Each structure stands twice: as structure tokens, then as C-alpha cells.
Amino acid sequence: MKELTDESILHLGHMISASEHICLISHMHPDGDAAGSCIGLALFMKEILDRKDVSILTSDRFPGYLSFLTDSQISGNIIFHEEECERAEDAVRKADLIICLDFNSFARAGSLENIIAESRARKILIDHHLNPDTEKFCLVFSETEISSTSELVYHILKRLLPEGKRLNMSSAAALMTGMTTDTNNFANSVFPSTLRMASELIETGVDRDMIIGNLYNRFTENRIRLQGYLLYENLKITDNGIAYMILDRETISRYAVTEGDTEGFVNIPLSIEKVKMSILAKEDTGKIRISIRSKKGVSANRCAAEHFNGGGHELAAGGRLAVPEDIGDISGLEAYILKITKDI
């Protein structure tokens, strides 16, 4: 990762201490990195920097598998716009500082997009995605050669720590969680700085066994049965190494799949030697949501940007097709995937 400059850290420190009402906002359909980076930063601002009014906002709720993080002393500060519209909008209206974490353009904030755009608060971006909308922010921490936004927040917090203070354990655990989920438990996007972070956090006393137990050993039976169905009956692989799984509404309701239950499935086909890109499609209301993963040499980001109105990282990206504007319905998706991937 690039060196964080003294100037940017000073600027950030000044903006935080000069602000009364602070909103941390992350992307729609938040994942472990969205939650971990927001919660880690919020707890640091409350416990170390003594900021009293810090809210965390996303358009929709954090997935259930993160309840060990979200049901903590910070739970009262978390607001989901789709569930508590007025409270969320009041918090943004009142804010004198908005920090956007783990997304690169306001559109990724879902229902919060216009509210952020219209706010006159000062805005800071802390993110690790490609192509950030930097001109919308007065201070930008954008780093793509890093595991996660949680890792970036960790390096920033180390520099923000007042003399003689240690990082608080609750922030440390949240940041370890976000880094762990975004690297798929150290399988992808691991840099020397990532291992340094992990090592320092374990040294500090972060209970990694507790985090791993919560993230990977608390699945529902339905999730594992759905995984079995997808891999055994649903997965298709083309001759040119494109794997795809299409999860329609009927299957989603048969397995009672909730948000977060399909986390990680898209990675599994990449373990097959001939597979160079894997696509998971999920039918949703008025849209089909797409997750893409690829091996080095094939760009998941390009596929998401060119064919699915999305983006992300070079090897891990996502997007969506609007129904019926982009595609008639899910029955046409297989032909669409075959068409767009035939020359990869």
C-alpha cells in the first residue's frame, strides 16, 4: 500500500475533532468489510476520540452472520434507511461530517444515494475499490493494493492514535472481521501489510478463534443444503472455463435463503482447474444481482462493468441487471451469460 501522508492524517484528525455529528455510511447489501470498517471506526471515534454522536448508516440491514459484531455496544448507533427512514435522514441532515466507507460512488449507497449527494456536510472517502469518484469528497483515502477497507482503516487508526494510547479491543475485533471476510479468510488479496495487521492485532489480544467461529461455524442447515444443490445440480461450466450458477426466486424460497446466506458460494467453482471465471446470479425484486470472481488474467471487474452495470475489484466484482429493462426475466439469463462470455 501507499504510505499515508502526515498531511492527510492531520487533516482527518482535525475534521473529526471539529465535527459534532458524524455519519459513517457504507454500501447497500453490506458485507463483513462494510460492517467491520464502519463499526471499527465508529468505536474508535467514541472510545478513543470521545466523539459523542456517531451514527452508522446503510440502506439495508447487515447480514445475520455478523450479529456478533453488530449486537454490541454500537447497536444503538446503527441505522438502516429502509427500516428507519426518518431517523436515518435526520442523522444525515444533522451531520457536519460524512465518512463513506467501502464504496466508490454514491450510487452504491442504494436508497441513501441522493441524501448523501444533497448533504452539505464535509465528506471523506475511505475505500479500496477501483475508479473512486474522488471529486465528490474533500479528503480521499483510496488504496487498491490492500485487502480491504477494514485494513485501510486499521492503518489510519494507528496513525490517529493519541500518544501513549493503544487501539481499543472492540475496534480491533471489528477490523479483523472485515479483513477476514474480504480476503475470504486469507485466500485472496493478501499483502504484506495485511499479514502485519493480523499479526499486530493478534498480539494486541484480538480473539481470532471467536471471530472465525462466528463467521464460519454458525451457518444454518439450509445454507449448507443450498450449497449442495447449487454445486450438484445447478452449476454449469462452459468449454472455455466460465462457471455459472443461477439462483431463481423459487429456489431462494425453497431454501429460505436470507441476505448473506450465499456469501462465498461464487468462489467455490474457481477451485476447479479449468474454471477461470465464476458467476453467481440471484433473482431479486425488479433485478437480478450478480457476483463475479476470476483468476489472474481474466477481469471480473471488466465483465461486471461492461455487461452488468457494476464494478468492484479486478478479480472480485458485482453488478445487476434491471428486469425488464436490461433483460426480460431470469429465463433469458443463461443465454445472456453464454453470449457475453464466449470470447473470454
Residues 6 or more apart whose Cβ sits within 8 Å of residue 151: 128, 175, 178, 179, 193, 194, 197
- With CB under 5 to 8 Å by kind, the binding choice for 46 among ligand 5GP, Mn ion, none is none
Rg over CA atoms, the chain: 20
Residue 179: count other Cβ atoms within 10 Å of its Cβ. Answer: 32
- Residue 122: helix, strand or coil by DSSP? strand
Selection from 64, 61, 52, 66 nearest residue 19 by Cα = 52
Per CB under 6 A, the segment of 58-66, 118-126, 225-233, 311-319 that binds ligand 5GP is: 311-319
Q: Answer yes or no: are the C-beta atoms of 175 and 168 closer than 8 Å.
A: no
Binding test (CB under 6 A) with ligand 5GP, winner from 51, 123, 155, 313? 313
Q: Which is nearer to ligand 5GP, 21 or 29 (CB)?
A: 29
Q: Answer yes or no: are the C-beta atoms of 40 and 223 closer than 8 Å.
A: no
| Interaction of residue 36 with ligand 5GP, rule CB under 6 A | no
| Interaction of residue 148 with ligand 5GP, rule CB under 6 A | no
Per CB under 6 A, the segment of 55-63, 86-94, 239-247, 313-321 that binds ligand 5GP is: 313-321
d(CA 172, CA 283): 36
Binding test (CB under 5 A) with Mn ion, winner from 41, 102, 106, 242? 102
**Least distance to ligand 5GP from the beta carbon of 1, Å?**
17
For residue 222, report the phi and psi dihedrals to the nearest 5 degrees. Answer: -55, -40
Q: Answer yes or no: are the C-beta atoms of 261 and 223 closer than 8 Å.
A: yes
Residue type, 229: Y
Tell me which residues in 137-156 interact with Mn ion (CB under 5 A).
Answer: 148-149
Tell me which residues in 95-114 interact with ligand 5GP (CB under 6 A).
Answer: 108
Tell me which residues in 185-214 interact with ligand 5GP (CB under 6 A).
Answer: none
Binding test (CB under 5 A) with Mn ion, winner from 151, 182, 261, 283? 182
Binding test (CB under 6 A) with ligand 5GP, winner from 57, 183, 320, 333? 320
| Interaction of residue 263 with Mn ion, rule CB under 5 A | no
Chain positions contacting ligand 5GP, by CB under 6 A: 27, 31, 108, 129, 291, 310-313, 316-320
